[in-house]
Structure formats: C-alpha cells, structure tokens
Structure 1
Amino acid sequence: MKAGSNFLNAVSAVALSASMVVTGGSVATLVSATVAEAAVIRNIQVHGADRVSANTVKANLAIKPGENFTSADIDESVRRLYATGYFSDVKVAVSGSTLVVTVNESQLLNEVVINGNRKIKDDKLQAVLRSRSQGPYSEATIEADKQAIRDAYAAIGRSDATVTTQTYPLGNGRVNLAFVVDEGDRTKISQINFVGNQAYSNGRLRSVILTKKSNFLSFLTRKDVYSPEKLRADEEALRQFYFNNGYADFRVISSDAVLDEASNEYVVTFTVDEGQRYNFGDVNVESTVEGIDPEELKGLVETKAGKTYRAKDVQDTMSAISQRVAANGYPFARVTPRGNRDLGNGTIAVDYLVDQGERAYVERIEIRGNTRTRDYVIRREFDIGEGDAFNQEVITRAKRRLEALGYFSSVEVTTAPGSEADRVVLVVDVQDQSTGSFGIGAGYETGNDGGFKLEASIEEKNFLGRGQYIRIAAGGGEDSRNYSLNFTEPYFLGYRLAAGFDIFKNEDRSEDYYRVDSQGFTLRVTAPITEDLSTTFRYNYTKLDYRTSLDRDDTRLSTPYWDAVNNGPWVRSSISHSLTFDTIDDRTLPREGIFAQITQEFAGLGGDSDYYKISGKARYFHTLLEDADVIGSLSVSGGHMWGTGDTVRVYDQFTLSAGELRGFESAGIGPRATSTGDALGGTTFFTASAEASFPLPAIPRDSGFRGAVFIDAGTLYGNKVAYVGGDNVKGTDMSLRASVGASIIWASPFGPLRFDYAVPIKKEEFDETQRFKFGIATQF
C-alpha cells in the first residue's frame, strides 16, 4: 500500500508539471480536479526577484511546502503578489515537486513630487496619494492618485482642475514621478432655485441648506463650493426642516446642479413636494413586553395632541422610552412609532409600541473615512461596545452626538451581518472637515472709557484629531489689555467628563484714579446629568493688583473703597458650581430652545476675599414668523452676594457689562464713590431683555446680515464695602434703568459681529452711558 501511495503522488506531480501553468493570474488545468486537489510540493523556487527578496515572494504565497494545494490556491497566490504592487508580471508553474515562481519587478519610485499647486499645499495633497517614494510604480495607483487630487480641488470649488504625470527614468529600475496640476478657475454658484415650495419662500429655504450663493466673501467661507455629497446633505436638511414643521409627507423630488462652462458657474435647483401640514392627534403608548407598564411611560412622551407635528419630538420620545426600558433591564426592547394620518382633520395619531426586538449583539465597530480624527474619539460617542446588546436607539443617539461635535461634514452609521446570525457589525462612515479657525474682531465703545478695541484668536475644536478644544486670544484697547488660553479635554480619564483650564491676564486703566491688573486661572470639570442638563465644578484663583495714579497725600484717598484696595495686591481663591440646562437648536443662530444656568460661588479658601454669591441667567428663543425668519428671545438674569468675613472688597461685588444692559457703559450703573465717581459694584442685580431679530431687507440672506430691535432693563444696587472719613456712596438704592435700541448682526467669517445703538430711557444722573457699541457678538 505504501508503494502504491508513493506511485500515485509521483504521477500527480508529473501530471501537474506538464499541465498547470499560471501567467498573469490565469490558470490552465488539464488534469482532473481530484488529482489537483491531492497535489503537494516540497520546495519553492523564485526567479526574477532582485530588489524584492525571495522570502518576501514566498511570504505572499497561499501555498506552503508539504501541504495540499489546489488551483484556487495558485490563483490566490498570484493575486497576492500583484497586490503588493512590486511586480508587473507573475508566472507560477509546478515542476515535479517544486513550485516555480517567476516575476518581473515593477519600477521603483525614487521620488514623488507635485508641481503647479498653489491653492492647496504639498502636505495636504501628499496625504491623499498612495504613490510613495521607495514604493512600486503602478499605473492603477497613479490613476487613483490623479483622481484623488482632482477630488481635493473639487472640494475647494475647482472642479475643472486637471492632473497629468511626468516620469524621469534614473536607471536600475528606478524612476521619479511628478504630478502636474493645472488648478483652473474656481467654480461658483450663481443661483439656488426651489420649485414646488408654497409654504416657505426661496429665501427661507436657502437659509436651511449648507450650499450658498457666491458673494464677495465666498473666497473665505467656501460655502459656495458645489459637491454631490453636499447636495445630498442639503436634501436631508430640507427634509428635517419640513418634518419638524408639520410636513410629514414632504419629499425632495430632485436636486440638480448645472454648470455653465462659459461662466464657470453652477445653477442649483431643488424640486420639492411639500405635502399637507399636520398636527399631532391622539398619542398612546403600548407594550407587549411583560413587566413594562405603558402607563408609566406616558410621562416621557414629548408629542402632545394638538401640537404641530415635529419629527424631532417623535425621535426624542423614542429615545426617552428606550433609555427607561433599557434601564429597567430590557436591553433588547424596541420602540416603534406608528403614525395614522387623518387627512380630513390634518392630524397624525401616534402609537409608540414597545416590543421585544431580536436578540443581537455588537460584534465590532468599524470606523471608516476618518483621515484626521482618531478612532477612539468616534468610538467613545457610542454607549455600547463589542459584545453589548444591539439597540437601534442607542446607535441613533450616537450618530446625533457625532454630528453635534462639528468634526465631520457627514456621518453615516450602517449595519452589516456578523460572523454569526445573532452578531451585528456597526459600520461608521465619516468625513473629516476643517475644525480650526482664526478670528479677528474690532470694536468701538463711546463714553469716558471708549475707543477702539481689537481681539485676535486662534481656535481648534479637534486638536491633533484628539477631540480636544484649545483657544488662544489676545486683545485690548486704549485703556485695557487681555490675554487668555483655554483648553478642554471632553473625555477626562476615559469618562464623559469635560475637564479643562483657563489662564488669563487682564490690565484695566478705565477708572480715573486707579488701575487694576488681574491674572489667574480656573480649573473646571463638567459632567452630564441628562442629554440637556449638566453640572460644572470650578476652582478659581485670581491675583489682583490695584494701583493709584494719585499721590498718597491726596485727600481723595480717604474714600471708603480706597481703604479697601490701596494696599494690594490681593488674592481671591474660590470654588463654584453651576447647573446648565441647554436645549438650543443651533449655537450660531438659535431659533428654538432654552439656555439656563445657575451658579453659586464661595470665596474664602485662603486669599483675601470672603463671600458667597449666587447668580443665574436664562434665555428663551422662539421663531415668531417662520417664513419671514423672525426670531424672538427673552432673557433674565439676577444675583446676590453675602459677605462672610470682616470686609467685602470692591472687586468682589457684582458689576454689569455693556452687553448685559445696552446703552450703558460696563460698570456704568450702580453704587459709586461720591468723591471720585469711581464704580464700586453692588451686592444685588437684576436684568431683563426682549429682542426680535430678522433678515435685513434688500440684502441676500446668504450674506449673513440680520437686524434686531430690543429693549433692556436692569438694576444694580447694595453696597457692603466699608468706608471711612466723611466720604459716602451714592446709587445704593434699587433704581431701575432701561434702554431701547436696534442692532445689525453679521455672521462674518471671523466670527459673529454686532453693532448696537441704544438710547437710555431711564437712568440716574451719575450713570455713565454708551449709545454705540461694536464688537464680537455673544449669545449666552
């Protein structure tokens, strides 16, 4: 038997050597499959490999000496060798018990350069190339690289850029490769049209989408760059806008971009079908899961009968119910909304069904498309990991978090089958976008302490792709200087804790008889309580140095506040705690939502200040006229302090800034020293404001200009600063101040800028007023 077995193996080897040759990846087989499957080779010979070692060739083979192999293994070996890119031709043959591999080596790239590029730097383009110095020369790879360069130029509005290549042979199989770029002209968008819209004007819909018409600042904003991906994102933005305003049947019929080659401009047209507008009808919760009481879940429902239908309310309700059910021990439970349209009444009744979903587990999470952002920055936004129960609502919530980061231009989360029937692979496709910005702003304030003020800042929201935030700013005017550094790590020690620090230095010479320099730092950590509620703890350290411009013999130095401050520097050491509730829909231009914050601070951990403060502020936004895009807002704030030591110092009391009570200077109202008129601050304050903003008429909405009208009111009173001698303090009573005014707001490429003109309509004779104010706008 043994002799017969050896004879059969010998026959198999001879047959294969005569009949199986592989050239360029094809296999010709003349022997039977049975004989081929029984083939075994004893050694491997490699011919033609000079620069690439024989061991490298052997390592890429699917055939090993002493093991059975088939024609499929030979095909796989050829594919692997071609995939390395190091070979232009591969031949595999069997001779007796030897596998013979003959290769022709590809040329080797000595150097890869890019010429003709001015708008995009070398390092940006090199990052998208697969052709590398000391790598193989491959026509297929070079063609892919040329397309990658064209795509990079299309992303900045130069879709007609062309790319050619030049090669320079150096001998010995080595070659230099140059990509030659003709950048062409920048394409623009001349028109954005909508067809089929009745409920909303073209101007309102243009404000919803990301694509904008070209204007004189487009070279900075790049919002007029056309791309198919951006058009798809615009379609989704339109759908969400209509779905959240009652139009549940809305659909985008088509979106087209037509290029006029003569002018190099696109005309973009969206054709839509708005459908009927609905309100919510009856809302109910049902459950087929034993142990889940639907009555207990009804309090989580955001969709109320009679309210305008909003897809976001449905999504928020699903999320709240899903989290509650999962927390009660049902990780596989599924929440499904069922809508029943009543076309006659224009309502949609919604039933939320809680049932037992399929038992599935997350096998792994694949991250794709991120060229800059680290994988772990994306992965940590998921509340599930490998091996956890699959829950669609958790996936949807993670997608919203990723989109809210602002790191990506697009986020898609899909599923793929895992290795077993109950395993699911999550596939996360993202596209990185620019997260850094350089801001420069100028302001002018009237009044005694007025003048031009400048500020410049550098900000990065995704520092080194780690998701960290960093900002460096410097500014000042005639009487002030300020510098700051801010840093935040959003996931401190791997937990969802936003930890960071703020370092600052300020110089202020605005008062007549003294100047104050302050410097210090804040350490802070913020923890989420719910999706909308968070809590923040801070440690604050400030060193203040007051300096007088008067001689020590000046009689005005006997005023009460001078007794408190003329022997500086002083140190303030405090801890503070804040609760923040935030449902704002858009940080740049809020249209709906509430921002509310309450803060308490205790000073007395060493240092020279001893007090307890509590303060709060809240602002509510609501769209008053949807199509006209008129947005209303109401805001209130207030605070009170108590001294806990022997003395309350001037710099410990509250002051109101020019932004909190427009029409008055910063520290322009409240208690003052009778001898010098310098501001002392107060122990209690209240403010209230009402504002309506709107697009400016006859100015394209894409330009980012808006107007506003407002009315402000407030007061600052009370004084705990001890005074000596015959001096006194005025303005300690609760006297109301008020102003009315108008504003021009510009969402500029350098940040939001605002010009306010306010007229005080109620004030005290010693108040310091300021009618004009121009500078960087703040919402919160």
Structure 2
Amino acid sequence: MKAGLRFLNAMSSFGLSAVLVSGAGTLATPTLAEAAVIGSVQVFGAQRAGEEAVRSNLTIRPNVSFSDRDVDESVKKLYATGYFSDVSIVVSGSALVVTVKENELINQVVFNGNRKIKDDKLQGIVKSQPLAPYDTAMIKADVERIKEAYSAIGRSDIQISSQTASVGQGRVNIAFVIDEGERTKIADIKFVGNNAYGDRRLKAVIQTKESSPLSFLTRKDVYSENKLRADEEALQKFYYNHGYPDFRVISTNAVLDEAGNKYDITFTVDEGERYQYGDIDIGSTVPDIRADDLKGQLETKKGDIYDARQVQSTMDAISQRVSAAGYPFARVRPRGNRNLENHTIGVSYMIDQGERAYVERIDVRGNTRTRDYVIRREFDFSEGDAFNQSMISRAKKRLEALGFFSSVNITTAQGSASDRVVIIVDLEDQATGSFGIGVGYSGDDGIVLEASVEEKNFLGRGQYIRVAAGAGDDDARTYNISFTEPYFLGYRLAAGFDLFKTQTSSDDYYTYNEHGVTLRLIAPITDDLATTFRYTYKQITYDEDGAYGDDGVAYTSDDEMSTPYIAMIEHGTYVQSSISQTLTYNTLDSQMMPREGFYATATQEFAGLGGDSNFYKLSARARYYHTLSTEADLVGSLALGAGHLFSTDGEDLNVFDQFTIGRQIRGFKTSGIGPRTVDDGDPLGGTTYFTASAEMSAPLPGVPEDFGLRAAVFADAGTLYGNRVDGLGDTIEGTSMSWRASVGVGLTWDSPFGSIRIDYAEPILKESFDEVQQFRFSMSNPF
C-alpha cells in the first residue's frame, strides 16, 4: 500500500510522534520536524536483500538526531535501489521499524518474433537483465529502446509487447514479443527551388537515398531525423563550395504514407545568386604583422568562382603564420564586400589581437568504437592552451581525413570563466574495414586472383592492418602483411612494416621466390605534404626447376642448350638491401571518389647497403582531378609518371633491380611491355619509363545517381626501355624507346558489396612481342 507518511501514537517520553512511512509520499507534523533520536533500527521483509542492505540506505542512525526530512530521504533511497515495491517506516518507542516488500527478481529475458536483430544485440539494448529487480517502468523504457533500434534499420511500424510469467520463489520471466512489420521505405526524394543543379545531382550529395532493390543491403534508405539534418548541412556545404554563399534550406518535409509504409521527402531550397571573387586584400592591426608578407597565403583569387573551402583554407594559413610569429590569440576574420550588380564578393581578411581565451577541456561524444585518445591527438592543443578558432578547423579537417567517422562536428561552449572555452566534439563512427578481391590475367601466370582484408582503425586505436594473398597459374603465389601505427612514440609519425613473399615459375625452367620486410616511417611536413622513409631487405631465390648447364645457368629448353635464359641468372639466393624516401603531396577532396585536387609522389631509392644490388632509382607520378561539369558530375583527370635507374658501382644490373610497368598502361599485362628475351619472351625490365593517362567519368546515363554506377573513358600511353643486364647480347629485344598506347572504357559501381571496377582497354600502339590484358576487374568491400 502507498499511503504516504503518517504519525501515530504520540510518545511524550521521547517528545516525538510515532511515524509510519509507506510509498514515496511524506506527511510530517511540526513535532517530527524538530530533532529526534532513536535507539535502534529493526528491519522486516528483507529476505533476499538482507537487513544490512536496508540499513545502509537509511540516512537515520541510532543515537543521532533526525527529522522528517531524513525519513523522506531514507524512503527515496530505498525505492531508488529498485528492489522494493513498498516501504514503510514506523517509529515505535525508541526503535525505528522499517518494513519492506521486495520486488520480484528477473529470472530470464527472452525475445520472440525477432529476425532482423538477433537476441544478443537486443540483450545489449535492454536494461532489464537476469537477477535484476522487476520494474514495470524499466520494461516500458526497454520497449522504446527496442523500437529505436528497429527504426535505425528502417522498420518504423514495429509492434512490441511484454509478457511476464512467474516461476516461483519471487522470480519472473520476461518475454518481449516483437512484430517486426515491413521495412519503412523512402519512395521519393525531390527538391523544390533548385535551378542550378538538378535533382539527380543533389541526390548524390545527401546521405539519404531512395529505396531500391538493393537497399536491404545498403541501408541508405533508412529514415532518420539526424540524417536529414546532416543532409541539410551537406547541401549547404555543396552550394557554398560552388559559388552560392546565399544558399539556404527553407524546409525539409518527410511525409509518411502509413498505408504504403513509405516516406516522401521534400527539400525546399533557395539557391541565391552565383558569385565570383572580387578584390582580395589583407588588413592587420597586430604589431609587426605586415599584410604584404601574408599575400603568399591567399588561396582566393579575383575572378574565380566563390568557394567557402578556399576562404577557410586561407584563414587557416594566415592564422598559422601569425601564431608562429608569436601571436597565438590573433584572430583572422573574413569580411565580404558584396556587389549585387555584377555578383562579386570582395574578401578582406582582417587580423586583430583577439580576446585571450584558453581551452578548459575537450569533450568527446558519440564515438562508440574509436578511442578518445585517437581523437584528441588530432588537435594541436590540449587543456590549458591558448584557444584559436583556426586550430579547430584544422582538427576537424584531420578527423574527417581519417575516414573513421561518418560525421564530425566541433562546437564551443562557455567554460567556468569568461576566458575559458569548452570544446565539444560530436562524432559518429563508421565501418573502417574492407574485404577486397582483385581478378586479372597476367602473363604466364594466367588468371590471377588476390583477396585482402584491411582495417584502418584496428581495435579503435587508429592503427592500420592489411593481410592479402594472391594466386595464379604455374604455382604463382603472393602473400602480404602490413601494419601501421599512426602516432609512433606519441609523435605525429606513422611507423609500420610490410612482410611479403612471392613465388612464381617460368616454363618449368626455374622457380622464383622473393620474401622480405620493409620498415616505414612517415612524417608530415604540412597538412598536404608528407615524407616517407623506408628500409627494405629481401631475399630473391632462383631454384632449379628444369634444365641447367654445368655452371648452373638456366637454358631455354632441353633440346637447345646454347642460349642463356633469363639474363644469365644462376640459381641461388640474392640479397637486396635498400633505403628510399618519398614525398607525397595530397589535396584531394575525397580519397574514395575525388572530384577536385592534386595527388603526387616522388621517390628516390638507393640499394647497396650490403647485398647483391647497387643502384639509385628516381620515380615520380602525379594525377590532377577537376570537375568539368558540376551539373552532370563530369570529372576529368590527367596523370603523368616517370622513372630512371642508375648503376652506382659501374657494373651491370640484375633483372630484379629494374623497372616493370603495365598497370599504369591499361590493356597490357603487368610486365607486358619493355625489354624481354627473344626466345621465350620473359620480361627483363628497363632502366627508364614514362607514362601518361587521361580519364573522364560521369554517372551512367539512365541510371539513378544514388545507384552508384559511373562510366569512364580513358587513354593511356607509356614506354619502358633501356637495359643494363650483362650477358644478353642479341638475345634481348624491346630496349628502344618505343611508345605504347591504349584506349578504353570503364565501369565503376559503388555497390552494396563494395567498390567494383571493370576496365576494358584496347592497345592501339604496341610492339609485336608485347603481351596484352584487355580486361581488368577489382573489388573492395567495406565492413
């Protein structure tokens, strides 16, 4: 019974009233409001909880004065344990009598009717657990939690009820009965007010997608209020970055058709006018900071289309330069001078001292998998350091570049004092693993298959691990294991290693085995530029697998033992020990599907730290991406590559020291071009190469863009020539600078199974001894 607090039988010898407390309510007389004292505490009804557990939750102690407030607090604490359905407290004579009625305990929690979400996941969602007290309020809350879990997978019409069954001895079983219903689909997404870009293009910008036959795999058609808010932000960012600074989302309406169990979503937008940059200048009120010295940091140029990314990048570059000059609190603010007649925006970057503010703390929220320290180390500051808004922008960019999160949002809040700022980081983890399959046809190996498992955020620590294995005809086998720690010894240095092994054979004359290890250290120079140092040690073994001469040199056939095979290589083991250094410049807007930006690498390698190889290699490759038509999402790219090899000891080179190319020129096998033996056509590699490539891609016509299909046309060209292998004489061909070229078409599909690409290339310029590979297939699947 829950009757509140009542006072019974005045006890004049103690100057207080007897007290009865039942339920959570309290009724107190003025007599009890005065201090009182009891001599003992008696507990009844606590069979499972135990008397001491009850006493420990009382605020009243023997021989210590108390009032009605203490009685009320004791009742609340006992109810808060969840183990009691009724509580009464009686002051009788000099004793405090506490009588409790215990809740039933949960014996078992089961789920019936669930197919889309397994029992183990539902067990982790509900708070009702075995041996916990049965609480009807908790059961109702668990029903709502299960509904939210089903809504997250697109089942909003789910029906859930709970059932209980007593099993005796104060225990009860709970069953959640679930009617999963049908998936709630998104039938249509449309835009109102868009003129510059069509619905098809804008649908590619947002995360929410219309339902399709494969939506049950992608889950991109799941309705979510949070996703819609993220979609609004994505649309705003897209327009801001393409010349529309006045863009705004007027409204977003999602209408549920209950009969069809599907949503229709409408984004109503106001694009505004498209603007170009007007005059660009810099102003400064900070002593010793001259505007003319900062003009090299400007990324915004008069006449270019307005791009919010360029404005932010310019602010960050100026802020970093000023901070390095000894002004950590300096603030860079852009001021726009809008000309409505010619649709230009002049930008003035104003630099002032800024207010002195310090970081009080950094709060990280929403990361369910990635560990806090992985996130915090991307900030250039910590608690107690000077606060600078540009540093927040850089941290956000770094967190997004990790690829660990589907959304990153950083805001600030007032700290405990006027000069204290709290940084709030809201994130949402995403899948960072992938399973990849590559299929191709390569030389004498025939069909080649490679499977790989890759994880970019291993155990939530930000570490990278990849395991790959490949196989082909003629016992061709490859094995690779890679690991990278992105913050070695607590510094922004990425350290890692690669273990590799390759086995192949050639026409039953020899078996080639290569295995070794590479140690890597990557150091950032700027946000866009990094350098990589490597040390590689590998052993290369040519085992006897056919006919050899008396001196161990392999020959072409059993019948003809006069022509030296594979460049006079004797069977045995060779060692190659080398160091290399690579510069990488990366300004791509996306690593998965770049539309703008530049990616370039330049590598130098020196072999001669012991072993059998002595050479110096130089190689470089660069690719530029540019959107040719934003409306059609037409993206073009150009690539150039080159390499040259020197002997450092004046001697001839080994076959395995030289360049082999082919993947850079589609339509040819991996080692399909360049110098090779006359009799058997085995590739020998070359000392010099040049490559060039041009590609243009767009969504496949007639297919909704959110389906993820893109078509590409491309043209590749290149040459590989020169050879420094001893003893070949007139048994080698292809050493001249002869260019090869190919044209082709490609198809990429951002499918539910992963990113799939198929290329068909037709060589249009080749030598008679070249080996072609017209089809190429690759697949990478996130998990």
Superposed pair shares fold, TM > 0.5: yes
Aligned residue runs from structure 1 range 522-561, under 5 A: 522-547=518-543, 549-553=545-549, 555-556=555-556
Q: Secondary structure at the match of 1:382?
A: coil
2:586 is aligned to 582
1:109 is aligned to 106
1:679 and 2:687 correspond:
no
Q: Secondary structure at the match of 2:369?
A: coil
Residue deviations 1:695-716, cap 9 Å, x none?
1211222221111111211111
Aligned residue runs from structure 1 range 134-173, under 5 A: 134-173=131-170
Q: 1:489 aligns with which of 482, 485, 488?
A: 485
Unpaired runs of 5+ in structure 1?
1-10
Unpaired runs of 5+ in structure 2?
1-10
Shift of residue 633, structure 1, vs aligned partner: 0.2
Shift of residue 268, structure 1, vs aligned partner: 2.1
Shift of residue 271, structure 1, vs aligned partner: 1.2
1:477 and 2:472 correspond:
yes
Shift of residue 282, structure 1, vs aligned partner: 2.0
1:467 and 2:462 correspond:
yes
Q: 1:765 aligns with which of 763, 768, 779?
A: 768
Q: Secondary structure at the match of 1:127?
A: helix
Distance 1:231 1:736 in 2: 52
Shift of residue 91, structure 1, vs aligned partner: 5.4
Counterpart AA for 2:744: G
1:648 is aligned to 653
Q: Secondary structure at the match of 2:149?
A: helix
Q: Which moved more, 1:340-349 or 1:506-515?
A: 506-515
Distance 2:284 2:58 in 1: 57
Q: Which moved more, 1:592-601 or 1:546-555?
A: 546-555
1:605 and 2:609 correspond:
yes
Distance 2:408 2:215 in 1: 25
Shift of residue 198, structure 1, vs aligned partner: 0.3
1:753–1:776 contact (8 Å) kept in structure 2:
yes
Shift of residue 309, structure 1, vs aligned partner: 0.9
Shift of residue 354, structure 1, vs aligned partner: 2.6
Distance 2:360 2:158 in 1: 43
Q: 1:570 to 1:57 in 2, by over 3 A?
A: farther
Q: Which moved more, 1:769-778 or 1:201-210?
A: 769-778
Q: 1:710 aligns with which of 708, 714, 725?
A: 714
Q: 1:95 to 1:581 in 2, by over 3 A?
A: farther
2:436–2:779 contact (8 Å) kept in structure 1:
no
Shift of residue 334, structure 1, vs aligned partner: 2.5
Distance 1:542 1:286 in 2: 57
Two-structure CA RMSD over aligned residues (Å): 3.3
Distance 1:748 1:605 in 2: 46
Shift of residue 281, structure 1, vs aligned partner: 1.8
1:218 and 2:215 correspond:
yes
Q: 1:439 to 1:769 in 2, by over 3 A?
A: closer
Q: 2:243 aligns with which of 243, 246, 251?
A: 246
Q: Which moved more, 1:762-771 or 1:611-620?
A: 762-771
2:4 is aligned to none
Shift of residue 555, structure 1, vs aligned partner: 4.9
Counterpart AA for 1:387: G
2:7 is aligned to none
Aligned residue runs from structure 1 range 238-277, under 5 A: 238-277=235-274
Distance 2:405 2:338 in 1: 36
Q: Secondary structure at the match of 1:153?
A: helix
Q: 1:694 aligns with which of 691, 694, 698?
A: 698
Counterpart AA for 1:655: T
Q: 1:377 to 1:100 in 2, by over 3 A?
A: farther
1:503 is aligned to 499
Shift of residue 108, structure 1, vs aligned partner: 2.3
2:329 is aligned to 332
Q: TM-score, normalised by structure 1?
A: 0.89
Shift of residue 753, structure 1, vs aligned partner: 2.4
1:754 is aligned to 757
Q: 1:431 aligns with which of 424, 428, 444?
A: 428
Distance 2:132 2:338 in 1: 62
Shift of residue 644, structure 1, vs aligned partner: 2.6
Distance 1:13 1:634 in 2: 100
Distance 1:256 1:377 in 2: 37
Aligned residue runs from structure 1 range 107-506, under 5 A: 107-441=104-438, 443-445=439-441, 449=444, 451-479=446-474, 480-506=476-502
Shift of residue 767, structure 1, vs aligned partner: 1.8
Q: Which moved more, 1:416-425 or 1:121-130?
A: 416-425
Q: Which moved more, 1:372-381 or 1:530-539?
A: 372-381
Distance 1:508 1:631 in 2: 39
Shift of residue 222, structure 1, vs aligned partner: 1.9
Distance 1:48 1:742 in 2: 81
Counterpart AA for 2:214: L
Q: Secondary structure at the match of 2:315?
A: helix
Q: Which moved more, 1:188-197 or 1:405-414?
A: 405-414
Q: Secondary structure at the match of 2:391?
A: helix
Q: TM-score, normalised by structure 2?
A: 0.89
Q: 1:26 to 1:698 in 2, by over 3 A?
A: same
Q: 1:519 to 1:220 in 2, by over 3 A?
A: farther
Q: Which moved more, 1:615-624 or 1:227-236?
A: 227-236
Distance 1:186 1:736 in 2: 56
Shift of residue 64, structure 1, vs aligned partner: 7.5
Q: 1:438 to 1:711 in 2, by over 3 A?
A: closer
Q: 1:314 to 1:249 in 2, by over 3 A?
A: same
Q: Which moved more, 1:68-77 or 1:137-146?
A: 68-77
Quote the sequence identity (%). 60
1:89–1:103 contact (8 Å) kept in structure 2:
yes
Q: 1:562 to 1:56 in 2, by over 3 A?
A: same
Shift of residue 719, structure 1, vs aligned partner: 0.8
Q: Secondary structure at the match of 2:770?
A: coil
1:561–1:680 contact (8 Å) kept in structure 2:
no
Q: 1:24 to 1:665 in 2, by over 3 A?
A: same
Q: How many residues align?
A: 762
Distance 2:444 2:170 in 1: 74
